[in-house]
Amino acid sequence: MDGLLTDLDVIRKDFPILERRVANDLPLVYLDSANTSQKPQVVIDAMVDQLENHNANIARAMHTLGAESTYAFEAARDKVAAFLNAPSRDEVIFTKNASEALNLVARTFPLGPGDRVVITEMEHHSNIVPWQLATERAGAELRWFGLTDEGELDLSNIDELLTPGTKVVALTWVSNMLGTINPVAEIARRAHEVGAVVVLDASQAAPQLPVDVQAVEADFVAFTGHKVTGPTGIGVLWGRTELLDSLPPFLGGGEMIATVSMEKSTWAPIPHKFEAGTPPIVEAIGLGAAIDYISHVGLDRIHAHEQAITGYLLDGLASVSGVRVLGPLDPTRRGGAVAFELAGVHPHDVAQLLDSRGIAVRAGHHCAKPAHKRFGVQSSTRASSYLYTTPAEIDALVEGLEFTKNYFKVG
């Protein structure tokens, strides 16, 4: 199969959990990577090394362990900056997840009555709800791009949506439900023409595409550690210096201050201004190791692998009667998360039946209720691959779906 990682066997060995046996001793077939990715040994080892040998609080500590921890934490920031091709390391802010990163922007970006924020109908709830709350607080207006029947953004009314009153355009780079890869550079260009800033949710892009914040001319980019083979508890907000400098603080507390008196406080420069309290230290270090790992494999190679596997998956699904895929059917125009319906069987039951065969998929609305509604479904089953996914695992899924149909006597 063209594009598959040639060293797939070796890569799989990097992930201890892939040895797990589940469901009466069947091998684990993990097809839920868009939900969270598995972790390679190097990430786990980096975290253990930090905890067993270097653990200390950062910045504030003057001693050897403190210096080691600070160095490792800040080195992780350098790695993220390089990963995103950020112009400056100070533009990289560590948050607890992508949701916090998006909320940070939505909470602090100045909006007033009559201002407009534009999102899309395929956003994850974490890029919808913060903007609903923000526009409601400000008396601003929330509008959105709709979707075509093929699951792409409907840009036909872009001139109507992007007006001089539009202050923010926030959208996902890759949809976690439909898989769609959006033309973010093009939308950013149009948004900038009306003076709006562009917030990109790269939660699903960062794991599988080269993400270059300068190339797409983004203003803010968010992603989450646990989907790029890093740990939970860590996310990233990147923003342009001028913008980050201009925003008021988000959370107040230790580390984000310049001085504090009982009457008044002043703020530290970025990135610290937005990092109140003890940051996720061991998590940032784990994320740094994860970024080293996937960069070492190569984002281009991972992307090719994802496309190959996704093509194979789409073919497999097409062979099962009663399956309807939600989202683009062309593997070169989409990411590796494929949501589908199986006629006559509810997604929960599909997932349960697959689980009984060791196959892990996700069932539900995948935190994208509006996108489901758009396609007239309440929930779906989603299979999502990553750099460790094999064609044989896709075969297992397809067989599992036939088994499911049999069990429920449909089709």
Partner 1 sequence: MDLDSLYQEIILDHYRNPHHAGLRDPFEAEVHHVNPTCGDEVTLRVHLAEDGTVRDVSYDAEGCSISQASASVMTDLVIGKQLSEALDTHGVFLELMQGKGQVEPDEEVLEDGIAFAGVAKFPARVKCALLSWMAFKDAALQASSKEETHA
Ligand X SMILES: Cc1ncc(COP(=O)(O)O)c(C=O)c1O
Q: Interface with ligand X by CB under 6 A: which residues?
A: 97-99, 124, 126-127, 172, 176, 201, 203-204, 224, 226, 235, 254, 277-278, 367
- Calpha distance 192→128 (Å, rounded): 21
Catalytic residue among 67, 367, 403, 411: 367
The entry of partner 1, a copy of itself, ligand X, none near residue 71 (CB within 5 to 8 angstroms by kind) is partner 1
CB of 338 to ligand X, least distance (A): 14
Q: Is 269 a catalytic residue?
A: no
* Nearest CB to partner 1, comparing residues 108 and 356: 356
* Burial 10-38, CB ≥16 within 10 A → b, else e: ebbebbeebeeebeeeebbbbbbbbbbbb
Among 1, 6, 60, 75, binds a copy of itself (CB under 8 A): 60
Where are the extended beta strands (E) located within 234-372?
235-239, 257-260, 265-267, 323-326, 337-342, 359-360, 362-364
Answer for the pair 92, 238: CB distance below 8 angstroms, yes or no: yes
The entry of a copy of itself, partner 1, ligand X, none near residue 372 (CB within 5 to 8 angstroms by kind) is partner 1
For residue 331, is the peptide bond before it cis, meaning its omega torsion is within 30 degrees of 0? no
- Calpha distance 362→75 (Å, rounded): 35
- Calpha distance 22→29 (Å, rounded): 9
Among 273, 334, 362, 405, binds a copy of itself (CB under 8 A): 362
The entry of ligand X, a copy of itself, partner 1, none near residue 182 (CB within 5 to 8 angstroms by kind) is none
Helix (H, G, I), strand (E, B) or coil at 357: coil
380-384 and 337-342 beta bridge pairing: antiparallel
CB of 168 to a copy of itself, least distance (A): 15
Residues facing residue 200 across a β-bridge = 171, 221
The entry of partner 1, a copy of itself, ligand X, none near residue 103 (CB within 5 to 8 angstroms by kind) is a copy of itself
Among 8, 42, 61, 194, binds a copy of itself (CB under 8 A): 61
- Calpha distance 57→113 (Å, rounded): 42
- Calpha distance 366→368 (Å, rounded): 5
> Which amino acid does the sequence have at 286?
G
Among 1, 20, 193, 319, binds a copy of itself (CB under 8 A): 20
Among 129, 194, 304, 377, binds a copy of itself (CB under 8 A): 129
* Nearest CB to partner 1, comparing residues 24 and 53: 24
- Closest residue to ligand X, based on beta-carbon distance: 277
Among 231, 288, 327, 335, binds a copy of itself (CB under 8 A): 231
Terminal Cα distance for the chain, rounded = 30
Residues facing residue 153 across a β-bridge = 147
CB of 363 to a copy of itself, least distance (A): 5
Question: Is residue 346 within the footprint of partner 1 (CB under 8 A)?
Answer: yes
Where are the extended beta strands (E) located within 53-212?
92-95, 116-120, 141-147, 153-154, 166-172, 197-201
Binding region for a copy of itself (CB under 8 A) out of 79-87, 156-164, 226-234, 237-245: 226-234
Question: Is residue 301 within the footprint of partner 1 (CB under 8 A)?
Answer: no
Going residue by residue from 179 to 218, which x/- string records binding to partner 1, judged by CB under 8 A? ----------------------------------------
Ramachandran area for residue 59 (φ above 0: left; ψ -120 to 50: alpha; else beta)? left
Among 115, 152, 283, 393, binds a copy of itself (CB under 8 A): 283
Helix (H, G, I), strand (E, B) or coil at 97: coil
Going residue by residue from 358 to 377, which x/- string records binding to partner 1, judged by CB under 8 A? -----xxx---x--x-----
Answer for the pair 410, 344: CB distance below 8 angstroms, yes or no: yes
Q: How long is the chain? A: 411
CB of 392 to a copy of itself, least distance (A): 18
* Nearest CB to a copy of itself, comparing residues 197 and 361: 361
Positions that interact with partner 1 (CB under 8 A): 23-24, 59-64, 66-67, 70-71, 255, 257-259, 268, 272, 346-349, 352-353, 355-356, 363-365, 369, 372, 378-379, 407-408
Q: Name the residues annotated as catalytic.
A: 367
